[in-house]
Amino acid sequence: MGHDTSRDRKDEQLEAARVRDDDHLLTTNQGVPVDDDDNTLRAGERGPSLLEDFHFREKLTHFDHERIPERVVHARGAGAYGHFEAYASCGDVTRAHFLAEPGRRTPVFVRFSTVAGSRGSADTVRDVRGFAVKFYTEEGNFDLVGNNMPVFFIQDGAKFPDFVHAVKPEPHNEIPQAASAHDTLWDFVRKQTETTHMMLWVMSDRALPRSYRTMQGFGVHTFRFVDADGTGTFVKFHWKPRLGVHSLVWDEAQRLAGLDPDFNRRDLWEAIESGAFPEWELGVQLVPESREHEFDFDLLDATKLIPEELVPVRPLGRMVLDRNPDDFFAETEQAAFHTAHVVPGIDFSNDPLLQARLFSYLDTQLIRLGGPNFAQLPVNRPLAEVHNNQRDAYHQSSVHVGRTAYTDNALAMGCPAAAGPERGYQHLQAGVDGAKIKRRSPSFADHFTQAALFWRSMSDWEREHIVEAFRFELGKVDSVEIRRDVVAQLAHVDRALAEGVADGLALERPEAVATPEPAPSPALSLDALAGDSGIATMKVAVLAASGVDTGTLSGVVDALTVRGAVCEVVACDAGQLDGDAPGRDKDVVRRAMFTVAAPLYDAVVVPDGDRAVERLADDHVVRGFVAEAYRHGKALGSLGLGVGVLAASGVPEDAPGVVSTRDLGPDEFAARFAAAAARRHWSR
C-alpha cells in the first residue's frame, strides 16, 4: 500500500513540475526525459537488471568517474569571488593596466588553503595557509599565488618534492594526516637548516589563523615590476586584512579540528553570505635594481623577508570578496593557479624557488584537470579575449572557425598577429652571465639571522606559544636523536628558545654557540597587527536558560550587533526560552549547549536573570564552556547576576578581558565589552 501511495505522490509531483516548467524535468546527458530515477530496468519485479537501461548506466558511469586527483599540495581549500580596486596610478613603477588608474576595478577569484592535508582534512591544523589570487585583468589573468607567511621552507625548487614527502603522512602507513608533528618532517628540518626561519613561523600562532579573513598574505618571492620604459624594480607583495591579524591557540585549534573541521571554510562562507565582506589591502615593497645588493641577505632567497622597517609597504589598492561560488567543484576545485600567469608590467626574479614554480604549476594542471584546455573552464577563463592557434586536445570546448591554425598566414590576413612590444607581454631584458653550475650561491648561506630576527620580534606570549609548539611537535617525534639535533639547531637562533624547548623535552641543554643579534622588526609581531576593528564580525555566545532576563538579553544582543558582532544565544536546552519578562523570548535560542563548545566563539556574555543564572551555574557543561573561553584568553562579560556563572566557572571578576557589571545598561556594557574582545588576554 505504501508503495502505491508514494508512487501516486511522485506522479503528482511530476505532473506539477511539468506544469510549472518543462526545464525542471530530469533528463539524461543526451537531453532525453527520464521517467523514473529510483528503479533500474528489470526483467520482472524481482528479476535481474537489464543492460539496455541506458539511463542507469549513464548515471552510474558518471558517478564512477566523479573524482579528479586532488592537488598534490594545498588540497584542502575554499574560494570566493570579489574585486580589486586600485587606489592610484602605479605607472611610475609598472605598466600593468589593472594598477594604472585610481578606482579601476578588476574581478578576482581567491582560494585559501592548507598545505599538507588531504582534501577532507581539518581546517585548523598547524600549517602554512595558501593565499592564491587570480586577477581577471583586461590584459589577461595575473595569478598571485602566495601564502600567509612571507618566507618559505627551502631555497631551491629541487628540494620541493623532498620537503613535501617529508611533511606529508609517512608513506608506509599514511600517518599522520595534516600534521607536521612526526619524524620525517623533523628529520628533513635538521638536515636542511635553511628551513629554520620558516619553522619558527610555522611554530608561531600564524600557523593557526582564526579566519582566512584575518590572515596576511605574501607573494613570498621577489618579483619584478616593469614600467613603460622597460625599467625593472624588485617587488614583494603583501596583503593586509582589514580586520587585523588574529590567530587561534593550539589547544583551541585541536579542539576545533573535531568540533568543526570546516571552521575556516564555514567562516568565510558565512561572512560573505551575511554581507560582512572580507577585505585586504594590497601593498608592495619596492627595491630599485640599483639597490639589489644593499641587504645582508639575498633578495633571491625565499627564506628571507625584507623587514618593513627597512623598506616600507606602499599601498596599491584593496580587495573585497563578496560572492561565494555556486559549485565548489566547478569553481574552487577546478581553479588552476600558475605563477607564470603574469601580465605586462609584472615579471620574475631569478629566485630559484620561483623559477621552479614557473614549471610546476602548468605541469600539475595537465594531470589534475586532464589536459591543456583547463583555461577554458569558467573559473579559469580570462576576461580578455583569447586568440591563438592552439587546437584540439582533451576537453576542447571552443569551436574554432576558419582553415588557418598557424602563423604566419596570408589566408586569414595574418590573424591572429603578434601584438608587438607596445601591447604584448615583453620579458624584461635582464642581463645574465656565468657558467652552467649546480651550486647554491654563497649569499644564501646564512640560515639563522632571520630566524633570530623573527624570534626577537615576538612578544613574550608569542615566544611562549612558539616554545610550546616546538615541545609538542618534537614530543611527538620518536627519534631522540632528531629531537636533540633540532634543539641544537635552535641554539643557533637563540639560547632561551633552545633551552625552553630542551627543558620541556627533558633533554640536555645544548652547548652555547654564538647567536645572531639582529634588530627586531616590530611589524612582525601579532601585537602590532590586531587592528582597530574591535568586535566587528566576531562571534559572541550569549549564555541563557529559562528565567533569563529577556530585557538584558535582547538589549545586549542588540547593542553588540550594532557594533558588528554576530551573537548566538546558547541555551542549556534546545527549544524556546521561558523568559522572566515579556520580550523577544521566543525563538531566540540559536544553539543548544550540547551542540557547541567555546572554541566556536570569540567571546562569551551571560545576561541577568536569577533562575537562569542558577541553572547555568549548576551545569558542569556550562562551567566548562566558560572556563575554556577564559583559558583561551577570550573576553567574558556578565550583566547583573550573570557574574555568578563566571564565578562558578572559576573566572576572577577583575581579570583582564572580563567585563562584569551590575549597574551599566546594555549599551554601555557593550561598548566596554567590544573593546575587551578586540584581542586575546594572555596576561591572565
Active site residues: 74, 147
Q: Is the dihedral of CA 266, 132, 305, 155 positive or negative?
A: positive
Q: Of 82, 117, 130, 209, which one interacts with ligand HDE (CB under 6 A)?
A: 130
Edge-to-edge order in the sheet of strand 539-544: 589-592, 566-571, 539-544, 603-606, 635-639, 658-661
CB of 215 to ligand HDE, least distance (A): 12
* CA gap 118, 385 in Å, rounded: 35
Output 329 or 406, the one with its CB closest to ligand HDE: 329
Between residues 145 and 452, which has the closer beta carbon with respect to ligand HDE? 145
- Cβ pair 284, 233 in contact under 8 A: no
On the question of a cis peptide bond just before residue 446, with omega within 30 degrees of 0, the verdict is: no
Amino acid, single-letter form, for residue 429: Q
Taking CB under 6 A as the rule, which mask of x and - marks residues 131-150 in contact with ligand HDE? -x------------xxx---
Q: Give phi and psi for 370, each to the nearest 5.
A: 75, 40
3-state secondary structure of 383: coil
Minimum CB separation from ligand HDE for residue 427, in Å?
20
Residues with Cβ < 8 Å from 326, sequence gap 6 or more? none
Out of 76, 97, 111, 255, the residue judged to bind ligand HDE by CB under 6 A:
111
Residue (68 or 228) nearer to ligand HDE, CB: 68
β-strand partners of 84: 106, 319
CB of 366 to ligand HDE, least distance (A): 10
CA angle 336, 337, 343 (to 5 degrees): 125
Peptide bond into 288 cis (omega under 30): no
160 contacts ligand HDE (rule: CB under 6 A): yes
Q: Which of residues 204-243 bind ligand HDE (CB under 6 A)?
A: 220
What minimum distance in Å lies between the beta carbon of 112 and ligand HDE? 8
255-to-99, 591, 648 alpha-carbon distances in Å: 43, 18, 23
Q: Which is nearer to ligand HDE, 144 or 538 (CB)?
A: 144
Q: What value, to the nearest 5°, has the Cα angle with vertex 426 and ends 422 and 427?
A: 160
Total of chain residues touching ligand HDE, rule CB under 6 A = 25
Q: How many Å is the Cα radius of gyration of the chain?
A: 29
Residue 113 interacts with ligand HDE (CB under 6 A): yes or no: yes
Over the window 486 to 525, marking each residue x when it contacts ligand HDE by CB under 6 A and - when it does not, the resulting string is ----------------------------------------
Any contact of residue 335 with ligand HDE (CB under 6 A)?
A: yes
Q: Hey, which residues does 286 pair with through a beta bridge?
A: 235
Pairwise CA distance, residues 140 & 163, whole Å: 33
User: Residue from 55, 73, 278, 628 that binds ligand HDE (CB under 6 A)?
Assistant: 73
Kindly indicate which of the ranges 27-35, 68-76, 208-216, 559-567 contains the residues binding ligand HDE, using the contact rule CB under 6 A.
Answer: 68-76
Contact 430, 232 (CB under 8 A): yes
Q: Which of 110, 88, 113, 83 is nearest to 99 (CA)?
A: 88
Instruction: Pick one of 136, 250, 337, 669: the residue that binds ligand HDE (CB under 6 A).
Output: 337
DSSP character string of 489-518: HHTTT-HHHHHHHHHHTTPPPPPP-----P
Q: Tell me the CA distances in angstroms from 103 to 84, 87, 145, 281, 320, one per residue in order.
A: 9, 6, 24, 14, 13
The least distance separating ligand HDE from the CB of residue 270, rounded to whole angstroms, comes to 21
Which of 135/601 has CB closer to ligand HDE?
A: 135
Give yes or no for residue 40 binding ligand HDE (CB under 6 A): no
Q: Give residues 349-368 in contact with ligand HDE (rule: CB under 6 A).
A: 353, 356-357, 360-361, 364
CB of 87 or CB of 361, closer to ligand HDE: 361
Region for 396 from its dihedrals, namely left if φ exceeds 0, alpha if ψ lies in -120 to 50, beta otherwise: beta
Taking CB under 6 A as the criterion, the residue among 71, 97, 126, 563 binding ligand HDE is 71
Least Cβ distance, residue 262 to ligand HDE (angstroms): 17
By CB under 6 A, tell whether 567 contacts ligand HDE. Answer: no
Question: Rounded to an integer, what distance in angstroms lies between the CA atom of residue 186 and that of residue 369?
Answer: 33
Q: Which residue is nearest to ligand HDE (CB)?
A: 130
Q: Choose between 145 and 286: whose C-beta lies nearer to ligand HDE.
A: 145
Residue 640 makes contact with ligand HDE by CB under 6 A = no
Q: Decide whether 71 or 623 has the Cβ nearer to ligand HDE.
A: 71
What region does 39 belong to: left with phi over 0, alpha with psi -120 to 50, or beta?
Answer: beta
Cβ 338 to ligand HDE, closest distance in Å? 7
* Shortest distance, position 131 Cβ to ligand HDE, whole Å: 6
| Residue number, 295 or 361, with CB nearest to ligand HDE | 361
Q: Closer to ligand HDE at the Cβ: 77 or 551?
A: 77
- Asked if 570 contacts 543 with a C-beta cutoff of 8 angstroms, the reply is yes
User: 511 near 590, Cβ under 8 Å?
Assistant: no
Q: How far is the CB of 187 from ligand HDE (least distance, A)?
A: 20
Encoded amino acid at 327, one letter: D
**Residue 117 in contact with ligand HDE, rule: CB under 6 A:** no
Amino acid at 268: L
> In the complex, what is the shortest distance from the CB of residue 356 to ligand HDE, in angstroms, rounded to a whole number?
4
Contact 492, 196 (CB under 8 A): yes
SS3 content of the chain, % helix, strand, coil (to 5): 35, 15, 50
Of 70-78, 398-406, 521-529, 609-617, the window that binds ligand HDE (rule: CB under 6 A) is 70-78
For binding to ligand HDE (CB under 6 A), which residues are involved? 71-74, 77, 111, 113, 130, 132, 145-147, 152, 157, 160, 220, 302, 335, 337, 353, 356-357, 360-361, 364
